[in-house]
Amino acid sequence: MKNDKLPLPKIDSRLNSIGIIMDGNGRWAKKRLLPRSAGHVAGAKIIKQVLSDLREMGVHHVTLYAFSTENWKRSKEEVDGLMELFYKYLDEQVLGALRSDKSFGVRIIGDKSGLPERLRRKCIEVEEASGDREFICNVAINYGGRDEILMAANAAFRERGGEITKEDLERHLYTSHSPDPDLIIRTGGENRVSNFLLWQGAYSELHVTSTLWPDFGRADIIKAVEDFYSRQRRYGGVIEE
Ligand code: FPP
């Protein structure tokens, strides 16, 4: 059966929030003797279908890792290309989708102040066009988990003027509007979290697939969901048999 015709798995409220580390664009391009930028373009193209599948299954929050605070170390050519791709994607795909579909929302998480001014303004425009919607996609751009925790702790400290609680800190996380991810999927085969949702992912199940991001399709979603439901989430406790 063709990948996009496979029936989607049934899920329940245990799988409400998913984080995705979209890795492998460069290798996908290299295998085809294409520039890395072609891998990123191919990676952007599949996002819509993946979100649509996850939403149809009943997931309400998806967080995509698009650009980390460490990704600035890449060549200027690649970084500039990614910034341009994010701008075009938000402008051409996301704004239109937000206007035509009132149950779909987008938030940009990360340090927007470090982005090129044009992209920063586009991120704000997208968030203003969005709002609290039934399905939320968080796009992490210039995002780093350690920076986020530090930023949130400082903001909470300033607010409280003294010792802070877990709840104070969580109110200041970029993702305060979304529940912690139940599942984090990483494509491209590396067994690392790479500074993604460090606080929020403390108890997330991790599913790593060797599939490169531009090839990620329904068969991979099915495997990730099966893997998730094969685990017993104990949150550090013990489940009585
Ligand atoms: C990691 O693959 C991917 C990125 C750093 C960029 C992610 C961007 C996209 C999926 C495209 C656009 C996204 C949006 C939100 C429009 P890599 O380059 O590290 O791959 P490699 O490990 O094979 O080199």
- The one catalytic residue in 71, 91, 111, 227 is 71
- Distance from residue 210's CA to the centre of ligand 1 (Å): 15
Cα–ligand 1 centroid distance for 25 (angstroms): 5
Distance, CA of 233 to CA of 111 (rounded, Å): 32
Residue 100 Ramachandran class (φ > 0 left, ψ -120 to 50 alpha, else beta): alpha
Atom of ligand 1 nearest to the CA of 71: 5
Predicted local confidence at residue 241, as pLDDT: 59
| Per-residue pLDDT reduced to its tens digit, 159-173 | 999 999 999 999 999
Rounded distance from Cα 225 to ligand 1 centre (Å): 22
The predicted-structure confidence for 185-229, as pLDDT tens digits, reads as follows: 999 999 999 999 999 999 999 999 999 999 999 999 999 999 999
At the topology level, CATH places domain 17-143+182-229 in Undecaprenyl pyrophosphate synthetase (3.40.1180)
Question: For residue 62, is pLDDT > 90?
Answer: yes
Atom nearest to 212 CA in ligand 1: 23
pTM: 0.95
For residues 145 and 151, what is the distance between their CA atoms, to the nearest angstrom? 10
Q: Which of 3, 12, 16, 23 is catalytic?
A: 23
Active site residue 71: yes
